[in-house]
Structure 1
Amino acid sequence: MNKHIEEVLNSQLKKEASSSQFYLAMASWAETNGLNGTAKFLYRHSDEERMHMLKLVKFINERGGKAIIPALEQPPVSFDSVLNVFELLLEHELGVTDSINNVVDICLKEKDYTTYNFMQWYVSEQLEEEALARTILDKLRMIGNDKGGLYLFDRDLENSAIQVENAAAGAAQ
């Protein structure tokens, strides 16, 4: 594996691991604030980010590079509101998108088409992540300070998390 590509992939691996920890901190905050649906959504999101990291670990190692498992910084322990959580989530995802686009650009410059093709999955995934975060933010802004609306929003997130879990369990059988 090209050393420059290996370095940028390891950098991306750290971003995915940090994302997992960031969303885990958000989930814990939500859970301790009575937002069980939001917590379920964020726990699942944290798991997804960890899988994104593992996918990079395996790819780097399989290509003859060496995946470096990073030390991570402490994520925040509290947030101002659910709206703040999802604003930070979108901001974070936009940064991850920039990073992925940078990796793709370097792959093209280095003519590493195998890694370029591998990274296309991440490009598509980021489109979904950003769209989901924007949709959630739109709903939260519509709700505003309405506690009843927040209750229903949280319940909807919990129900969607349960549906995803049930679909995954059915697919595994």
Structure 2
Amino acid sequence: MLSQKVQDALNEQMKNEFFSGYLYLAMAAYCEAEDLPGFGSFFRVQAMEELTHADKIYRYICEAGGRARMAAVPEPKNDYASLTEVFQYGLEHERKVTGMINRLTDLAMAESDHATRIFLQWFVTEQVEEEANFSAWLAKVRRVEGDGRGLLMLDQEAGQRTFTPPPAGQ
């Protein structure tokens, strides 16, 4: 059974994951408007990943005997000066999410909630991957800044990204 503190914190993180999905859809819309459909697709895939993370938390709360609660999601940033700014903002956001996951893990440890701590380990590992991915893409985008042909090549590469849901039980 989840403590009220852990249940509340998990519900807050679920809301944050929904917000992340919403943020990445806003980034996709920016890219589409800038005639970068590959990056639009890239960010739609990222949004689907975040919505999967929210669902993962939802299912855990329910399985652990808690009560999942839906909360209002704030409006995300919709406008950017450049694709570089989009990726810089995305990297900063992922770093913020890493901090949230770490604090949630700390709470589970403080509450001696071993099941939740083990559950959250997947998210800890996932955040390492998320930050590395955004760092790598930010470096690529910076490298081609001002080079239209390079940007089009990256747009094609970004468009190859596909959504792969995590295996059941993970």
Question: How would you bin the TM-score normalised by the shorter chain?
Answer: over 0.9
Q: CA deviation at 1:27?
A: 0.4
Q: CA deviation at 1:99?
A: 0.3
Moved beyond 2 Å, runs of 4+: none
Alpha-carbon distance in 2 for matches of 1:127, 1:102: 15
Render the CA deviation track for 1:49-93: whole Å, top value 9, x for unaligned: 000001101111111111111211111222111111000000000
Alpha-carbon distance in 1 for matches of 2:45, 2:115: 29
- State how 1:1-173 maps to structure 2 within 5 Å: 1-159=2-160, 161=161, 164=162, 168=164
Letter in 2 for 1:125: E
Matched residue count: 165
Render the CA deviation track for 1:96-129: whole Å, top value 9, x for unaligned: 0000000111111111000000000000110000
Q: Which 5+ residue runs of structure 2 have no aligned equivalent?
A: none
Alpha-carbon distance in 2 for matches of 1:89, 1:111: 33
Alignment root-mean-square deviation, CA: 1.5
Q: CA deviation at 1:32?
A: 1.7
Letter in 1 for 2:137: I
Alpha-carbon distance in 2 for matches of 1:77, 1:119: 30
Secondary structure of 1:99 counterpart: helix
Alpha-carbon distance in 2 for matches of 1:145, 1:47: 30
Secondary structure of 1:65 counterpart: coil
Q: CA deviation at 1:11?
A: 1.1
Higher helix share: 1
Sequence identity (%): 35
Alpha-carbon distance in 2 for matches of 1:45, 1:157: 11
